[in-house]
Amino acid sequence: MIVARPAMARLCHLKNGTKRTSNVYFASSDERKPTVIETRMPLRTSVRVACRRCRRKRAKCDGQPTCARCEEVGETCEYDTAQRESKGELRAETARLRKNSVESDILIRAIASIPDPHMCRMALQGLMDGTLSRDDILREYRDKASDSSGPSSLASQAQSPFSQQSTLYASRSDDPPTCFDQLLTWRSCRPNPSTVDAVTPPPLSLPPLPLDAYAVHSRQIDTWTRTGWTRAHIRHLIDALRTWDYLPFCLFCEDLFLRDYDNGETRFCSPGLVHAILALSTRLINESSDESALLPSGWLSSQVLFNEARTSLSDDSGAVTLPDIQALGILAIYRLRRGLEAEARELAHVFATRITQFCQRPLPDDELRDDCSKARVITYCGAVSLMR
């Protein structure tokens, strides 16, 4: 009688992925010939694509149109399907993107060709608000390019809110150019012979002005400074600073500042802030040759305007108003532009401390409450960024 007894159990993996358990038995006879009885284990069910919920939960999915787990919780079972695009579709998408890029370049040139900076700003604002479409600007730009000898047609003028004024600037040869046209020529301007012959010119004397691009302010003398400059010249310098260095305009609200500057109000404008902006703008224009009080070209040094700003701030009991606090931040940037990092860091620290204390005050209960809140937030965020 032969009695089989188990000797060992081996788990084998086949090439096709199935598993096989081999139970080996040995007989009790002298031959001890093993008897192998193979038992196959059931295959594990696997799916190629799991639904989104099972993938997010890292749970097992049965791959059905509505899997069991999603059906239990009552959620919609969704699968991500592979999207295949042909070469023709890819070429069409590439052509569309290339066309958009070309139109964007033309749009930038069209906006930059607007002579009046205020009209240029209106065009940009219209694009952001949706009141002005890209097609309107591109259509007018193409009309002007095709008919450069005369003004645009009435139809094209009616399609854009800034077309009439921009056409007026382009068609009249006796109108003064804008600040962007005159910006590079400032470096080569020379004072009158009387100014050159003067041994000691008076402080804060009037330098040779560029052509005024702001007809409204061309004959109005600025009352915020002792320079004797016109308001057009002040606005000219502000536009030049905005063109090449936008960082200072993150410290104050420009719209509120210009509104109070024109109206003579002191809620968002002060002599200290005006002098600080002029000092930074003059430093930007004159660059490294800005060291003496009166430059060879006749321009005032930015250091003179910086001193005027510091004097205005000290006269106002240490910058307690919002525009004077903003002036401290502008002066910190001015010191940084001159390479005086230690003084710039000190001014920035004072600026951040003052605006933090100012924001703890209650807002005024009048019609300018929202404007004051907006100006505070802009200045505080600018102070935090400047300290970093």
- C-alpha neighbours within 13 Å on the C-beta side of residue 328: 27
The distance between the two most distant Cα atoms of the chain, rounded to a whole number of Å, is: 137
Model pLDDT, residue 257: 92
**Which of 15-19, 257-261, 366-370 is predicted most confidently?**
257-261
324 CB neighbour count, 10 Å cutoff? 24
CA distance 229 to 305: 13
Average pLDDT, the chain: 71
Model pLDDT, residue 291: 57
Q: Is the pLDDT of residue 211 over 70?
A: no
Looking at residues 211-223, what average pLDDT do you find?
A: 60
Kind of pairing between the strands at 34-40 and 19-26: antiparallel
Q: Is the pLDDT of residue 62 over 70?
A: yes
**Which of 138-142, 164-168, 246-250 is predicted most confidently?**
246-250
Helix ranges (H only) for 208-253 are 231-244
**Which of 99-103, 181-185, 333-337 is predicted most confidently?**
333-337
**Encoded amino acid at 346, one letter:** E
Model pLDDT, residue 177: 43
User: Burial of 202 by CB count in 10 Å (0-12 exposed, 13-18 middle, 19+ buried)?
Assistant: exposed
Q: Is the pLDDT of residue 144 over 90?
A: no
**Which of 43-47, 143-147, 191-195 is predicted most confidently?**
143-147
Looking at residues 168-183, what average pLDDT do you find?
A: 40
Per-residue pLDDT of 225-280, as tens digits, reads 887 777 888 888 888 888 888 889 999 999 999 999 988 888 999 999 999 999 99
Q: Which of 241, 182, 179, 261 is nearest to 214 (CA)?
A: 179
CA distance 282 to 276: 10
Calculate what percentage of the chain has a pLDDT beyond 90. 14
Grade residue 139 by pLDDT with cuts at 50, 70 and 90. Answer: confident
The DSSP-derived string for 53-117 is HHHHHT------SS-HHHHHHTPPP--PPPP---HHHHHHHHHHHHHHHHHHHHHHHHHHT-S-H
Model pLDDT, residue 276: 92
Three-class SS state of 294 = strand
The DSSP-derived string for 327-383 is HHHHHHHHHHHTT-HHHHHHHHHHHHHHHHHHHTSPPPSSTTHHHHHHHHHHHHHHH
Model pLDDT, residue 329: 93
Q: Is the pLDDT of residue 198 over 70?
A: no
- With contact defined as beta carbons under 8 Å apart, do 25 and 35 qualify? yes
Q: How far is CA 363 from the centre of its chain?
A: 29
Calculate what percentage of the chain has a pLDDT beyond 70. 62
Grade residue 65 by pLDDT with cuts at 50, 70 and 90. Answer: confident
pTM: predicted TM-score of the whole model, two decimal places: 0.47
Greater confidence (301 vs 386) lies with 386
Model pLDDT, residue 332: 92
Looking at residues 272-290, what average pLDDT do you find?
A: 81
Q: Is the pLDDT of residue 101 over 70?
A: yes
